[in-house]
Every structure is written in C-alpha cells, then in structure tokens.
Amino acid sequence: MSTKNNRDGMSRRDFLRITATAGVGLAIGATGMAAMENTIAPEAPAGAGNEPQEERIPMYGEHQAGIITPQQRYMYLASFRITAEDRAGLTSLLRSWTKFCDLSTAGGTMKTGSNPLLPPDDTGETLDLPASGLTVTFGFGPTLFSADGKDRFGIAGKMPRFLKDIPRMPKDNLDPLLSGGDICIQVCAEDQQVAFHAVRNFIRLATGSATVNWMQEGFISGGSSGQTPRNLFGFKDGTANGLHQTEQGYKDVIWAGDDEPAWMKGGTYMAYRKVRMLLEIWDRASLSDQEDTFGRYKESGASYGRKGEFDEADPSKMPATAHVRLAKEAGRLIHRRGYSYSDGIDPRTGNVNAGLLFISFQKNPEEQLVPMLKLMQSKDALNEYTSHVASGLFACPGGLREGQYIGQSLLES
C-alpha cells in the first residue's frame, strides 16, 4: 500500500518519523534535563515505528488464532450473555460473527451501504486501515451449556471435561459483574482502532441475540519487536512461555486431549483473571524487595543466580515466597498471554486503577492452573501488591475450515 501524500510529497511514515524525533528533542529541552546519567539508552528495534501493519493472520486452520499467535499490542476481551431463546437464534448469531471475522481479519469492511435512509452496514472507523494482525478467539463459558439447571441450547451433554468456574480462592475480591459469561471473545491487533472496531461490531451484530456483560481493554509493549513485554511493575512478563514453544510443547501444554468431546479437537481452555496491581505500594518498595517478589532481576529478567533472561531458573536460589519459585513448585506449565490494563484513577482514593489482564491457555485447568493459583494465593509475595478482581474460564473450540462457522462442530455434531 502506498503511503505517499501527494500534497506535501512526504510519506505518512516519513512524517511520523520526523515529528517523533522533534518531539523527543522538545520534551528534553522543555524539562531542562541536561544531565542524563542514570539512564539506559533504548535500543530502537528495526521497524518498530508507526507504520501501518499490513499483516493478515489467517483465521482458518487447526486451531483458532490468538492462542499461540505472537502477542499483538492491543487486546479487547468481551463477555456476552446469550439472550436468543433457542439454538436457531444462537446459530444465526455465530454465523454472522464468523462472517464478520472472515472479512475483518482479511482487512476488509462491510459496505457502508447504498441507502442513505438506513444506517451504514459498517461503523466505518477502519475504512482506511489494513488488517493490522487482527485475530479473534472465541470461548464458551459453563453457562452456555447449562444455566439454572436449564439446557437452553440442547448442548448440556457436550460440556467439555474441565469447564467450570475457577474455584473461589481465599484472597479473591471478585466482582461478579466483571466475571464469567456465556461467550467470551478475545480480539487482538497491532492497531487499537482495528481491535476496537471488531469488538464494537461484535456487540452491534449481537443486537437482539446477546448482550455484553463486560469488556476490558489491554495493551503490551515490545511484543512485536521480539522482546518480552514488561508489565506495569517493570518486569519482563512471559519469559517462561519459551519452555514449551514447540509443536510438542503446545500439544502437551495447550491443546485439548483426545478424551474431550470431538468439537474440542484442536481447542483449549482460556482462563482469565483481572488482577489489580497496587502501583503506589509497589513504587515504594525497594529494588531488592521487588526482585525478591519474583525471584528474577528487574533489568535483565534473569532468574536469581543466572545472567540471561532465558537461562534455566533455579528455584532454590529464590526466596520461598517468590512468585516464580511457587509457579515452578506447582510443577505444571501454562501458556500465558496477558495484557496490562489501565482504568484511570480510583476517584475515592486518587490511586491509579491498573493491573494485569492475566490470560492463560491450557489443556487441563484443573491440573495445570488451579493448584498453581491455590499455592500462589496462600504464599505468594506478590499478594502484598495485587488483588484479584475478576475471573472466568472458557472452552475454546478448535479452528475452522473456510465455510464453517464458529461453534458449528458443537451445535451440529
């Protein structure tokens, strides 16, 4: 796609580069920061500018996209309550959502419409934007299968083996209005407006068939440059995913087993915890307390007693309550794909309302995730600085072939 602007002869990319550089100079001048000791010069990763992201991530395949896909910068998570009264209503919604996915992940939009007396078919905010690595991942919650003892859609007999709410943990501070749901959609993209457009249109297309329970937005840094993103405590977060990132590793850790209903073939379970991070308390903790909390060094991300971020961790070198040591003691791996969030300021306290939208994928949440969560809730040094405020567990069906709709293998098998 050409980015030349004919009026001033400068490409959109050149313009962004020049203004970005000028902006840095102005900011330094304005604050009078002549002495720059104690700083770390950032290494500019190649291609990490503001270029439009043409990348299209195929939505068809053995697995849904957005699970082992390298993390895009922006994420929306939206949970829906299905109001359609029967299976035909649910099927029709899933068909129209799938059609929209097919179009938008390829960088297309619906027609704006030819009848000026009707609302346009597309909301329009991505008309000039490329696909931007958009992915959409669907998960089905326990209540889709059975709610209040009712089998609303005739699928109660096809419930996957481990689909139930994550058990309540002693330190939980969960808001039921921000937890659970019949269907959860994870939307990720390199451009926030592309991701927003998708989630907004899922909501719009659901009119009359589903209502939104809650929606969260998240962001990360660095992912596309190949570096591990840092969370809002300033630590590299996601390093240990490297332990299972092979085809066999994914099979062992993520993809549902053969003992699941057929529609879960190539699927997995998505766990969600919204974890508020108490930034003001954390920022007053010493560097050594911060590092002891994780058992890793802040700058390098290396685990205690090691030099490189990816050197094998030795839990015996970490304090007994270190987060990473406890994760290791739980003895199982999970695939984490979390995003930071910021919900502005808590007006009652003036504190920043921010944290981690913890998302993990695993084949058996009962064996892989729940024991880890229990161990962490009882001992984790991180508990002093965090509070779990929302939760959810969803079964993600396997991937689609062109022409199929999401959930077809569940509803029509």
Ligand X SMILES: C=CC1=C(C)c2cc3[nH]c(cc4nc(cc5[nH]c(cc1n2)c(C)c5CCC(=O)O)C(CCC(=O)O)=C4C)c(C)c3C=C
Contact residues for ligand X, defined by CB under 6 A: 231, 233, 235-240, 273, 275, 277, 294, 296, 313, 323-324, 327-328, 334, 355-356, 358, 369, 372-373, 376, 386
Distances (CA, A) of 128 to 3, 53, 169, 193: 11, 12, 46, 11
Closest approach of ligand X to the CB of residue 165, in Å = 15
H, E, C per residue of 180-212: CCCEEEEEEECCHHHHHHHHHHHHHHCCCCEEE
- Other beta carbons within 10 angstroms of residue 304's beta carbon come to 20
β-sheet bridge partners, residue 218? 75
Distance from C-alpha of 285 to C-alpha of 289, rounded to nearest angstrom: 6
DSSP count for the chain of H helices, then E strands:
11, 11
195 vs 369 by CB, closer to ligand X: 369
Sign of CA dihedral 14, 15, 17, 18: positive
265 vs 332 by CB, closer to ligand X: 332
Closest approach of ligand X to the CB of residue 363, in Å = 15
Using CB atoms within 10 Å of the CB of residue 9, give its burial: 0 to 12 exposed, 13 to 18 middle, 19+ buried. Answer: exposed
β-sheet bridge partners, residue 292? none
Distances (CA, A) of 224 to 132, 133, 189, 229: 12, 11, 11, 9
Closest approach of ligand X to the CB of residue 279, in Å = 11
Alpha-helix runs per DSSP H in 303-412: 323-329, 365-368, 370-379, 408-411
Closest approach of ligand X to the CB of residue 267, in Å = 20
Closest approach of ligand X to the CB of residue 303, in Å = 7
17 vs 230 by CB, closer to ligand X: 230
Closest approach of ligand X to the CB of residue 242, in Å = 8
Closest approach of ligand X to the CB of residue 371, in Å = 9
68 vs 82 by CB, closer to ligand X: 68
358 vs 361 by CB, closer to ligand X: 358
197 vs 388 by CB, closer to ligand X: 388
100 vs 385 by CB, closer to ligand X: 385
93 vs 275 by CB, closer to ligand X: 275
For 238, phi then psi, to 5°, come to: 130, -5
For 409, phi then psi, to 5°, come to: -65, -25
Distance from C-alpha of 345 to C-alpha of 21, rounded to nearest angstrom: 30
Closest approach of ligand X to the CB of residue 164, in Å = 17
188 vs 372 by CB, closer to ligand X: 372
Closest approach of ligand X to the CB of residue 239, in Å = 4
Q: What is the DSSP string of 214-277?
A: EEEEEE-SSGGGTSPPB-TTS-B-SGGGGGS-SHHHHHHHTSPPTTS-GGGTT-EEEEEEEEEE
